[in-house]
Amino acid sequence: MTLPLDFVIPDGWTAVDPGDSGAVFVAVHDAAPGEFTPNITVSVQQRPDDATIDAIAAEAVERLSRTLAGLDVLIVRDVGEPAAPGVMQLLRLRTGEGTELIQTQVHLTVPGATPAERLVLELACTAAPATARRLAPGFQRFVASVHVRQHEGTQQ
């Protein structure tokens, strides 16, 4: 799916090929040898159904929980505005190898011309706990910078 998104990659992050991750964008941050490589991912899905953004965020947690040894939802907060609602959730993840990670997910609605054309962006930052705290301000700036580019010929 091609979506004309603009955003600013935070300092210290490098865009990489998303491969078959299902994401449309992936960036990584340097990590010490042997440590988890922090990453930012952007995924897009068309949601013509009437699921609320809260239900979509809960689906993401359910989907992720099937691949992990443990998952705790630490914070869920509404973001955005009524016309384009969003949800931020902070998750604690435990891999099968016992690694603990923190993932911040931000789910944003991109309204379409009709309800059937609605898109949902999932922006996620995953890192080890101490690293996540250090990288959080950059991820917040990244999320704030994301916007859908206007089509040529339309007024901005």
User: What is the tens place of the pLDDT at every residue in 104-142?
Assistant: 999 999 988 888 889 999 999 999 999 999 999 999 999
- Order across the sheet with 84-94: list the strands: 13-16, 25-29, 39-46, 119-127, 100-110, 84-94, 70-81
- Report the alpha-carbon distance of residue 64 to residue 126 in Å, rounded: 12
Stretch 9-25: mean pLDDT, rounded? 94
Please tell me the total number of residues recorded for the chain in this structure: 156
Confidence at residue 24, expressed as pLDDT on a 0 to 100 scale:
93
Confidence at residue 150, expressed as pLDDT on a 0 to 100 scale:
67
In a domain, 101, yes or no: yes
C-alpha distances in angstroms, 132 versus 43, 83, 90, 91, 118?
20, 30, 11, 11, 31
In a domain, 50, yes or no: yes
Confidence at residue 113, expressed as pLDDT on a 0 to 100 scale:
84
Q: Are 70 and 38 in contact (CB under 8 A)?
A: no
In a domain, 21, yes or no: no
In a domain, 28, yes or no: no
Range of the domain at 107: 37-119+126-144
In a domain, 25, yes or no: no
In a domain, 10, yes or no: no
Stretch 87-97: mean pLDDT, rounded? 97
Q: How many domains does the chain have?
A: 1
CATH number of residue 96's parent domain: 3.40.1000.10
**For the segment 30-54, what is each residue's pLDDT rounded down to a tens digit?**
988 889 999 999 999 999 999 999 9
Confidence at residue 155, expressed as pLDDT on a 0 to 100 scale:
43
Confidence at residue 151, expressed as pLDDT on a 0 to 100 scale:
58
In a domain, 24, yes or no: no
pLDDT band with cut points at 50, 70 and 90 for residue 2: low
Question: Is this model's pTM higher than 0.95 or not?
Answer: no
In a domain, 63, yes or no: yes
- Report the alpha-carbon distance of residue 107 to residue 79 in Å, rounded: 9
- Report the alpha-carbon distance of residue 37 to residue 86 in Å, rounded: 27
